[in-house]
Amino acid sequence: MQGMLAMFVLASCAALASSGNASNSRRLVKLTIVAIDSKGAPVTDLRPEEIQLREDGSLRSMAYFRFAGSSRALAALAPDEFENRPGPPPTLILLDRWNEGLSTMAKAWHDVDEALLHAESVQRIYVYLLTGRGELWPVRPVPGAAEAWRPVEPPSPAELVAKLDDAVRQTEGLRLQDRLDPVQRSYTTWQALGIFRKMDPMAGRKNFIWVTHGVPLYADALDGARADFTRPIVDLANAQAGSQVAIYTVAQAGEGPQADPSEETRQALRLFSDITGGRAYPSDYTRTALTEALNDGRGAYQVAYYSPVLERGSWEHKIRVDAVRKGVRLLTRGRYYGDEVAAAPDELADSAFEGLTRSPFDATEIALRVRKTRIPGRDAVHFEVVVDPRDLLMERDGGQFRGSFTLRLALYGKAGFIGVAQAVQKDFTLTDFTLTQEQRDDVKNGIGVSQDVVLDRDIQQVRLMVFDWGLRTLGSVTIPVR
């Protein structure tokens, strides 16, 4: 229908345990929702009452709902004020020569070039080539720890295309997979897809665009045995979803635009996108995949709900999201797997902080604003940190909302990361027996933490990091101190 509002909801995170339930009888399931209209523009006025969430056919009430898009309005900063401003989600493109025929590879290569040339910016776009020998070739690799404190100037789209062209030419030659057992070829593919782990230090949603002829759900080995790859695909996709990686697959085929390599291959690729909350595209749609993956970050929402952990619960849990608003269509991550509870909260926090110290980008799941003040006569700095409470999971307890977060500082010197210091835990309660959701979301001043930090002379930058114990989410701001 012309003018009809279309919204696509993409879930991008696996189930997590609730820290507030010692009996482990429930888990917190987090979803990333992306809303766009019929023209592909992001929708930023979605309301929680316009969504109905179901898991395994049962309605679930949302424990958390928050607009988190990169189009979020931001106030101007005063001198010596800093804020973690959201940007486009990091995106990794894998051009798959290992599973391509000669006729499909040339077109896939051209399509990736075109997608990069038409990208608004390639600052957060990383490109790898899976060669005909089953090796990962970094065209523009995911940044390492050094870029966390000394950012590298990103290439222009034309420069990145030139790097890709050079990589393809250098890796031309014999394709070993033509002589390999089909089962061995598939397992080499699964191993290569583990490259998503390189994006783990980057908090929040990440995109993975896989341009490939694909692999089937089933294959006949050279010895005649029949292999079923459903479980390896599910396990890999579930791990990617747990890392908030959404997979966008482009099923490249020699038959031309909108063709599919085969029914079984199409099923396998759609399984990846369904489990991770990405999208599946037909052949020659690489440019569309990149455009929509980046656009999805502009109209993103974070949603969380509680689900019971049953003693004899199902391994597969199906998610369905329906729109109440007239003329709205919803697409969501269709499922998640497992009833396992998350690791101990302390382990999760330590792992999250450790990863964030190595990330090239600040985390923006929790909005932070920081004012820096030099302390006269001392080699120290006073930081006033304001945390946006709307980005925290606050449990209702009678007429109160309760929550908890921890603040840590990562220190960077001339040689890079030095260490983590000054752990501060903040338990807070907003008390108002008539407090509504709207009133809670209207908190203007946020939750403040002040901290004096004595800094050695070789420390160049400080990254202030906040971890929410309820949602297991992160926010950070990196501040120069020299």
Distance in angstroms (rounded) separating the CA atoms of residues 217 and 271: 10
**Domain-located, residue 260:** yes
**Residues 423, 359 share a domain:** yes
Task: Rounding to the nearest 10 degrees, give the CA dihedral for residues 198, 344, 352, 472.
Answer: 110
Q: Which of 311-325, 359-373, 392-406, 422-436 has the highest mean pLDDT?
A: 359-373
Check pLDDT > 50 for residue 258.
no
User: In this model, does residue 211 exceed pLDDT 90?
Assistant: yes
Of 51, 127, 140, 63, which Cα lies nearest the Cα of 96?
127
C-alpha–C-alpha distance, residues 88 and 206, integer Å: 9
Residue 61 belongs to a domain: yes
Say yes or no: 133 and 119 in one domain: yes
- Both 319 and 289 in a single domain? no
At residue 342 the predicted structure's pLDDT band, cuts being 50, 70 and 90, is low
pLDDT at 408 over 80: yes
- Check whether 336 has a pLDDT greater than 70: yes
Same-domain pairing of 304 and 400: no
Last residue in a domain, options 278, 309, 337: 337
Question: Do residues 264 and 117 share a domain?
Answer: yes
In this structure, the answer to whether residues 290 and 314 fall within a common structural domain is no
CATH number (domain holding residue 206): 3.40.50.410
Contacts with 356 (C-beta within 8 Å, 6 or more apart), sequence order: 201, 203, 363, 410, 463, 465, 474, 476
- Asked if residue 326 has pLDDT above 80, the reply is no
Give the CATH number, domain containing residue 391. 2.60.40
Q: Say yes or no: 276 and 325 in one domain.
A: no
Phi, psi (degrees; rounded to nearest 5) at 476: -155, 155
Residue 340 pLDDT level (bands cut at 50, 70, 90): low
Residue 6 lies in a domain: no
Report CA dihedral (214, 216, 217, 222) to the nearest 10 degrees. Answer: -130
For every residue of 118-185, DSSP letters joined together read: T-S--TTEEEEEE-TTS-EEEEEPPP-GGGGTSPPPPPPHHHHHHHHHHHHHHT-S--GGGGS-HHHH
Is a pLDDT exceeding 60 seen at residue 28?
Answer: yes
pLDDT tens digits for range 440-456 = 666 667 888 888 888 88
Question: Would 85 be classed as within a structural domain?
Answer: no
- Residues 113 and 148 both lie in one domain: yes
Contact 435, 428 (CB under 8 A): no
Q: Of the residues 307, 337, 367, which one is the last residue of a structural domain?
A: 337
The better pLDDT of the pair 313, 372 is held by 372
**Position 317 pLDDT exceeds 80:** yes
For residue 240, report the phi and psi dihedrals to the nearest 5 degrees.
-65, -40
Is the residue at 56 inside a domain? Answer: yes
Residue 2 lies in a domain: no
Based on the fold, state whether residues 411 and 459 are members of the same structural domain.
yes
In a domain, residue 277? The reply is yes
For residue 60, is pLDDT > 90? Answer: yes
Helical H segments across 252-335, by residue range: 263-276, 286-296
Do 24 and 116 share a structural domain? no
Q: How many domains does the chain have?
A: 3
The reply to whether 80 falls in a domain is no
| Residue 12 φ then ψ, to 5° | -135, 25
Say if residue 180's pLDDT is above 80. no
- Are 305 and 292 members of one domain? no
Q: What is the pLDDT of residue 261?
A: 58
Same domain, yes or no: 124 and 44: no
Q: Could you list the residue range(s) of the whole structural domain that residue 250 is in?
A: 91-297
Q: What is residue 7's predicted lDDT score, i.e. its pLDDT?
A: 34
Position 209 scores a pLDDT of: 97
From 127, 310, 97, 321, select the one nearest 209 (Cα to Cα): 127
Dihedral of alpha carbons 457, 462, 464, 465, sign: negative
